[in-house]
Chains A and B, each alone.
Chain A
């Protein structure tokens, strides 16, 4: 047997969400990743976020490319359709799927190699098109499945397990996304579930492309001293720039609204995201501030986390293409085919 179907474990005492599902209903197959892999923590956070959002699993589509991270779409939401594409090409498949049916919730899971090396072109164009999707980069700075080569996310001067030093400048997905006009840019850490879950929920509620770069250490090939993507390094250098509360539409807001340095963003679906910036003067709705701050942290070797930037006014793929509300995939044939009379009339033009 080469895949393991995890039997859903249920107990009458399991808590149910608003649509009557338990967290087990949001789980998937058994993970085949290494014990302690950061990606499994991201999977757990995703399960938590979906459950808390009362997302009907069949209304979501799980999209991924190739790599350790891309395998994880098999480990959550077994009742969702999944598409494990070719290496680095998940964004184009998701773009096409979303064009055909924008009603589903799209969850794209990628890695640093999948997104920043082989798939960089596709990722940046998906950002430009503002495809309505959650785009998670499970970023460990290393190629896991081929055993330890540097990815484009590896920091300058960081070392491989074998001691090789990376001499090429990294591609930082957060800085990149900010310059490209991304409408939702966040960074988190797989070891910080309390931070990650609300960010995921906010990203899922964002209408447009929501990029979340999750530092997710590779215990087998990049968790040593000299790595800047190890558990120890990230714990020692994380700067939580913006703390996030996610407030769903239905839930009453109990915390005071007008707290200093709190920005409340009303999301498209009616939910609210409350952002507490810790850095003085930080405005997560200002792209310039976000860029400067992320750049400065990077230069200091720090990892700025939280929802660093959010612009809910951006026009998504469907807005830009002025598509009808009914998903194109669901339009009846007679709404698409102009019919005999129109063709007969059209023929006069070719005489």
Chain B
């Protein structure tokens, strides 16, 4: 079987040494050769000195899930030699730094060891410890360029683009690439049996991470106020938003900003700032992760009851508590869905990749203003921080944002009196006004009991009326939120239900199952509360798997509570180890269950 453009390699390095540059250089070069590629960064919650890995999957078929097996490992971190060498598949290769002797017990008969004296080469070529350390990574990138037949001119072109203005840096990077490249060509048979050959499958694509795509979505949706408290893995979302704003939102005449980013004292404050700004009529958002969502609970309940917009990005990480801050999970579903005390419910959107991060972020700003309630955009570290191959993002200049029911001065002139919470349209959504408007627009926003006229009340009937009307509003929302994406196959009686980032491995797993003669339908839910189509899909399948990345099958719990579909009629397929799912794991688990069921 040909292994051209269908393999995976991984590097095991020490974080803070610059290996990220080398890895993204390789990945991007392969991408520019027209070959579908994806990268997963598995990094520690640390700045310098701990093990970090980067997995690159080259897939001519365009599968972007985590690689099924590792064909080549670059082992540069002595503290993880053992596990890294063990992780190579039989018949694979290990590239290691032969400047130092390798413990013979680490050798494997079924794996080819490729020793390159990267340290010695860099010590001879470069001065200064820092340079030597950083460029050792570029040198292994050079070696892989030769071994995997990556186009050297593309690699050098990319270095020119990156360091074009810093001549000395460019020279040393060129040199480092050549050190590894030439050494590999001189000492090994290049290319290896698995390698790259140019294709034309990435022309319409880009490589982008989800946090960047969410930031772009916020920029394009017209968000002006971002309030946040730094937390991994959401930090780069606001920092990228800021960078985009500095590029696109500075008034050319005055040099002043058409945005305001507030780094809050904590997540309670960032939630409060978002609500204050949204109340005032700006499009406002925050980005956070699980611990931040915990701190925002009180304001989320307030916003539900006082009916205030606001977009809340939750880039999920592994919980509970501090958990594994740099590992992925989908374990905040319940804490988002019903955040805060009392009867509450919150809209959640679930992008599956950075492309959808962009479109659903733009949608989120419309939805939050239309329904005057917080909207979560729930991603995870895999989507948020890894580079995914996605189609180029598109924008239609005819787009007009939906600002919801807002009465301005002219509209107020048409009404006899304005009452904030009177449902004149019967859809549960009432009109609001923005502070500063003249006429009779003033109203009082409060988290305490209020009636439809906006007055304080402790009256049972008035309280219940209002709570029932908010429920009606959510029923309206259910039908207006992004619909599930359903992929059907002929004759399928098995269905998979899932959300978010496992989309890529699920699609791959379903292809593999189809090749084995097992037809499986997939429904990827994109919003909560669930659309009626969700229950219909459940009813239509004899066997339903719910695939999710948390221990307690939270999505299944939500499906049961919200649709009434029996819990035990859904088979949970869970993975909560903190790593992106692989298609192999899905196929294995499903096959095992189906076999068991048929016995």
Q: A residues bordering B, Cβ < 8 Å?
A: 1-3, 5, 56-59, 61, 73-74, 78-86, 89, 91-101, 103-104, 121-122, 125, 129, 318, 321-325, 327-331, 333, 335-340, 342-344, 346-347, 350-351
Contact = CB atoms under 8 A, between A and B. Distances in A.
B272 A122 contact: yes
A96 B447 contact: no
A329 B282 contact: yes
A83 B276 contact: yes
A94 B266 CA distance: 15
A262 B456 CA distance: 46
Given A3-B457, A86-B299, 5 more contacts: A89-B298, A93-B275, A98-B276, A318-B260, A324-B251
Interface string B215-227: 0100111111101
A89 B436 contact: no
A121 B267 CA distance: 12
Interface stretch (B145-153, B170-178, B331-339, B396-404): B396-404
B51 interface: no
A11 to B, nearest CB: 23
Nearest to A332: B222
A81 B442 contact: yes
Given A61-B435, A96-B276, A350-B208, A84 B445 contact: yes
Interface string B456-481: 11110000000000000000000000
Nearest to A74: B444
Contacts of B32: 351
Contacts, number: 227
B395 A343 contact: yes
Contact of A103 (B258, B260, B273, B436): B436
B100 interface: no
A124 to B, nearest CB: 8
Nearest to A105: B436
B258 A328 contact: yes
Contacts of B395: 339-340, 343-344
A103 B280 CA distance: 11
B371 interface: no
The 10 A-B pairs with the shortest beta carbon distances in the complex, nearest first, are: A96-B276, A92-B272, A96-B273, A100-B282, A81-B435, A97-B276, A350-B206, A100-B280, A93-B276, A329-B281
B444 A330 contact: no
Given A322-B256, A323-B257, A95 B282 contact: no
Given A96-B274, A97-B277, A333-B400, A89 B269 contact: yes
Nearest to B248: A338
B393 interface: yes
A78 B280 contact: no
B376 interface: no
Contacts of B435: 61, 80-81, 97, 101, 104
B492 interface: no
B284 interface: yes
B339 to A, nearest CB: 14
B264 A347 contact: no
Contacts of A94: 276
B446 interface: yes
Between B31, B221, B274, B447, the greatest number of chain A beta carbons within 10 A of the residue's beta carbon is seen for B447
B441 interface: yes
6 contacts: A59-B436, A82-B446, A83-B446, A323-B259, A331-B224, A344-B392
B248 A96 contact: no
B563 interface: no
A83 B219 contact: no
Contacts of B208: 350
Interface string B405-444: 0000000000000000000000000000111111101111
A324 B207 CA distance: 34
A343 B220 contact: yes
Contacts of A347: 206, 392-393
A101 B254 contact: no
Nearest to A101: B280
A83 B279 contact: yes
- Among B257, B269, B274, the most chain A Cβ lie within 10 Å of the Cβ of B269
A100 B459 contact: no
A96 B281 CA distance: 11
Contacts of A99: 225, 260, 262, 273, 276-277, 282
B560 interface: no
A267 to B, nearest CB: 22
Nearest to B268: A89
B455 A3 contact: yes
A91 B396 CA distance: 39
B269 A125 contact: yes
B265 A125 contact: yes
Contacts of A85: 272, 275, 302, 447
A58 B441 contact: yes
B394 interface: yes
Contact of B256 (A101, A324, A338, A350): A324
B298 A86 contact: yes
Given A121-B266, A343-B393, A338 B456 contact: no
Contacts of B298: 86, 89
Given A328-B282, A330-B281, A347-B392, A321 B455 contact: no
Nearest to B399: A337
B282 A322 contact: no
B448 interface: yes
A97 B279 contact: yes
B284 A100 contact: yes
A100 B254 contact: no
Contact of A101 (B249, B274, B282): B282
Contacts of A330: 281
A95 B273 CA distance: 6
Contacts of B277: 96-97, 99-100, 328-329
B264 to A, nearest CB: 7
B449 interface: yes
Contacts of B447: 84-86
Contacts of B444: 73-74, 81-84
A100 B224 contact: yes
Nearest to B440: A79
Contacts of A80: 435, 442
Contacts of A61: 280, 435-436
Contact of B448 (A83, A84, A100): A84
A188 B442 CA distance: 30
Given A81-B435, A96-B273, A97-B277, A340 B397 contact: yes
A100 B268 contact: no
A125 B257 contact: no
Most buried by A among B32, B206, B222, B444: B444
A90 to B, nearest CB: 8
A323 B302 contact: no
Contacts of B400: 333
Given A84-B446, A85-B302, A95 B456 contact: no
